């Protein structure tokens, strides 16, 4: 999985901070046709891929990740 230009790499830490949990993560990936195994192997997922889902929790998680990146 390759990170797109001008996007943010979403990690498990971002998902947890945004209110997501490992328990529901597998189901979320399956629901949107994304590979949970790729997410684990690559240590994250591109924010653009997450945003395309339109999922409210996903959008919130991307916002938390943006804040993390801006603090650097």
**Is the pTM for the entire model greater than 0.75?**
yes
How do the pLDDT tens digits run along the chain, 72 residues long? 554 557 899 999 999 988 888 788 999 999 999 999 999 999 999 999 999 999 999 999 999 999 989 887
Half-sphere exposure of 40 (CA within 13 A, CB side): 7
CA dist 24 → 19, 27, 30 (Å):
11, 5, 10
């Amino acid at each position: 999985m390759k990170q797109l230009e001008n996007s943010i790499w979403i990690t498990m830490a971002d998902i947890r901070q945004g209110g997501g949990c490992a328990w529901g993560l597998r189901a979320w990936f399956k629901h949107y046709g994304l590979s949970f195994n790729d997410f684990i192997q690559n240590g994250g997922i591109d924010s653009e891929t997450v945003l395309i889902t339109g999922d409210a929790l996903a959008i919130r998680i991307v916002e938390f990740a943006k804040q993390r990146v801006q603090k650097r």
